[in-house]
Amino acid sequence: DALDYPRRLAALLGGRPVAWLAALAPRGTAADAPPRAPTGRLLAWGAGRVERLVGRVTGPGLARDTAALFSDLALVRERFVALARRASELLLGERAGYLLVAGPTAAARDDAVFLAARLGKQGRTPRALLLNRADVRAPLHDAALRGLPDAPPALLAALDTLEQERTARTAAADLQARELEKRLRDVPLLRLPFLEAATPDAVVVALAAELQPQLPALVPPDP
């Protein structure tokens, strides 16, 4: 829906209904304006009849306020239409690429499958699916801390707890990866590790390092 919204917005703002409603304001509401005799073009006479009917059904206040709203919108309508069409081109153009991001949970899996199906209706296939918190290796500090001479039992117990948590995350990620690869056969799956960085900039740096080798598959090539 979000990808298709700019295109639908451009069609709405550039359509005849908006232009017709905007044209009502300079003439006032149908209830306030004098009847127009059918001495001009037949279509103009018919439009006047429709406008008066709208004024009678909705009331003069609503018709006048609505016409004024669309009259103001008409002043910037062409600019809005151009921006909406440009946004549609950026979102659905030939060079647009899509990455799905999921975590090792059932809800995230279902969301990824749903979004892939919606992209399929637009004739698009995600370039890849990134699976967060899908640990594939033990942290470097684990072996270093365990190798300390006379490491206190409390430290070793804490490391054991962290390793159990990592093992559980990895098992969940393995299950998730198998399920996603089965349901999204045409979408490459990339696993990202659990990040222990505490600040946003550190998270970005760590993710950049993980994704650097995969950039050719993730970034659309230059034309």
Query: Mean pLDDT throughout 144-158?
Result: 89
Same domain, 117 and 74: no
pLDDT, one tens digit per residue, over 50-102 is 556 655 665 656 666 666 676 676 677 778 788 888 888 888 877 788 899 99
Number of domains in the chain: 2
Alpha-helix runs per DSSP H in the chain: 5-13, 16-24, 42-58, 60-92, 106-121, 140-146, 153-183, 200-211, 215-218
Same domain, 195 and 117: yes
Please report the pLDDT score of residue 134 as a whole number: 85
Same domain, 80 and 133: no
Please report the pLDDT score of residue 31 as a whole number: 42
| pLDDT > 90: percent of the chain | 18
Query: If pLDDT is split at 50, 70 and 90, which confidence band does 35 have?
Result: very low
In this structure, of 26-30, 170-174, 200-204, the range with the lowest mean pLDDT score is 26-30
Same domain, 87 and 106: no
Element (H, E) at 123: none
Same domain, 22 and 64: yes
Domain boundary among 69, 92, 115: 92
Q: Is the pLDDT of residue 178 over 80?
A: yes
Please report whether residue 112 resides in a domain: yes
Give Dmax over CA atoms of the chain in angstroms: 105
Same domain, 77 and 125: no
Please report the pLDDT score of residue 40 as a whole number: 46
Same domain, 119 and 195: yes
Alpha-helix runs per DSSP H in 123-152: 140-146
Please report whether residue 97 resides in a domain: no
Please report the pLDDT score of residue 157 as a whole number: 93
Dihedral (CA of 73, 75, 81, 82) sign: negative
Nearest C-alpha neighbor of 21 from the set 83, 72, 84, 59: 72
Same domain, 153 and 127: yes
Dihedral (CA of 22, 25, 31, 33) sign: negative
Please report the pLDDT score of residue 26 as a whole number: 55
What residues form DSSP beta bridges with 131?
102, 191
Query: If pLDDT is split at 50, 70 and 90, which confidence band does 46 have?
Result: very low
Please report whether residue 28 resides in a domain: yes
Q: What's the burial of 133, exposed, middle or buried (CB within 10 Å: 0-12/13-18/19+)?
A: buried
Please report the pLDDT score of residue 4 as a whole number: 73
Q: Is the pLDDT of residue 200 over 80?
A: yes
97 within 8 A of 219, measured Cβ to Cβ: yes
Please report the pLDDT score of residue 181 as a whole number: 92
Same domain, 124 and 32: no
Please report the pLDDT score of residue 84 as a whole number: 82
Please report whether residue 84 resides in a domain: yes
Query: By three-state DSSP, how is residue 101 classified?
Result: strand
Range of 146's domain? 102-218
Please report whether residue 223 resides in a domain: no
- Nearest 5 degrees, angle CA 190-CA 198-CA 135? 30
In this structure, of 8-12, 39-43, 44-48, 82-86, the range with the lowest mean pLDDT score is 39-43
Across all residues in the chain, what is the average pLDDT?
77
Q: What are phi and psi of 15, to 5 degrees?
A: -85, 170
Domain boundary among 92, 122, 151: 92
pLDDT, one tens digit per residue, over 94-140 is 778 889 999 888 999 999 999 999 888 888 889 999 998 887 777 77
Query: Mean pLDDT throughout 44-54?
Result: 55
Domain boundary among 92, 110, 125: 92
Query: Mean pLDDT throughout 187-203?
Result: 85
**170 C-beta neighbours (distance < 10 Å), count:** 20
